[in-house]
Amino acid sequence: MELVVKPDADAVGEVVADMIIALVARRPDAVIGLATGSTPLPTYRALAAAVGEGRASFADVRFVMLDEYVGLPEGHPESYRTVLEREALRPLGVTGDRLIGPTLSLPPEEIGPRYEERLAALGGVDLQLLGIGSDGHIGFNEPTSSLASRTRWKTLTQQTRDDNARFFDDPADVPRHVITQGLGTIGECGHAVLVATGAAKAEALTAAVEGPVSAACPASVLQFHPHVTVVADDAAAAGLQGLDYYRFTLANKPAWQPF
């Protein structure tokens, strides 16, 4: 894993945005996997600024969803499709039809396999943006998820429902079910970019990067991925035993180069 540590969430967002901009400059029709939640927002803001300044264009990019709530009415302000259209796509001048996600109208057992087929038809995901849950989840692969899991219907843990209650008027409104790309599915992306900011993520990030690969910390499966970049702020990186080593390594690299 490559680790990039920055002082704060905005600086993290700039680095991640630079990686995405470099990818799209190389491959204008790249397939980019988006995540929701608070962590990617500075990245989305930095991308929008780059578009505004004429430094990037996302006109030909195909975007895909990492996960989605099940059971919210279409167009609900907290459905992940709506959130991504509002926070990520519209500021980039991209319309919602370029965002590919699971078809929720299908019978539950068909949603995952059909979505996998669509991802495969796109030729796979070039870069997948990932946040990390305080319990170590990525996507909505909660602890005990199979490390080989595919896209499927899942039940959220109470901890994740509590974590996400801040987005809803009433905590009881947080859906209980989601569709999420599986850990095996995520593992097939070309470049996984795991972003973590804030002290609340320190324990999970340490387990993911330095702990044993285990379903107890689903993000730890990324240790098997051939191309992962972890971008964290100081607070989230604070628990990493190897931080001094990573800092030393980074300090002795020429400027960080996008892959």
131 vs 190 by CB, closer to ligand F6R: 131
Q: How far is the CB of 55 from ligand F6R (least distance, A)?
A: 25
Q: Residue 69 in contact with residue 80, Cβ under 8 Å?
A: yes
Using CB atoms within 10 Å of the CB of residue 84, give its burial: 0 to 12 exposed, 13 to 18 middle, 19+ buried.
Answer: buried
What the block records as the tokens of 45 is 């803001």
56 vs 164 by CB, closer to ligand F6R: 164
Q: How far is the CB of 138 from ligand F6R (least distance, A)?
A: 5
For the chain, the distance separating the N- and C-terminal CA atoms, rounded to the nearest angstrom, is 13
Which residue has its beta carbon closest to ligand F6R?
A: 131
177 vs 253 by CB, closer to ligand F6R: 177
**Does 218 sit near ligand F6R (CB under 6 A)?**
no
- CA 12 and chain centroid, separation: 14
Helix (H) or strand (E) holding 143: none
Backbone angles phi, psi at 70, to 5 degrees: -110, 135
Using CB atoms within 10 Å of the CB of residue 96, give its burial: 0 to 12 exposed, 13 to 18 middle, 19+ buried.
Answer: middle
Q: Please count the residues of this chain forming the interface with ligand F6R, following the rule CB under 6 A.
A: 14
58 vs 128 by CB, closer to ligand F6R: 128
Q: Which stretch binds ligand F6R (CB under 6 A): 31-39, 49-57, 101-109, 228-236?
A: 31-39
**Does 70 sit near ligand F6R (CB under 6 A)?**
no
78 vs 250 by CB, closer to ligand F6R: 78
Q: Which stretch binds ligand F6R (CB under 6 A): 11-19, 37-45, 106-114, 251-259?
A: 37-45
Widest Cα–Cα separation across the chain: 53
- Eight-class DSSP state of 167: G
Q: Which stretch binds ligand F6R (CB under 6 A): 30-38, 99-107, 110-118, 185-193?
A: 30-38
Residue in 64, 67, 84 with CA at minimum distance from that of residue 153 = 67
d(CA 159, CA 234): 24
**Does 67 sit near ligand F6R (CB under 6 A)?**
yes
In this structure, how many other beta carbons lie within 10 angstroms of the beta carbon of residue 60?
Answer: 12
**Does 187 sit near ligand F6R (CB under 6 A)?**
no
**Does 139 sit near ligand F6R (CB under 6 A)?**
yes
The footprint of ligand F6R (CB under 6 A) covers: 35-39, 66-67, 131-133, 137-140
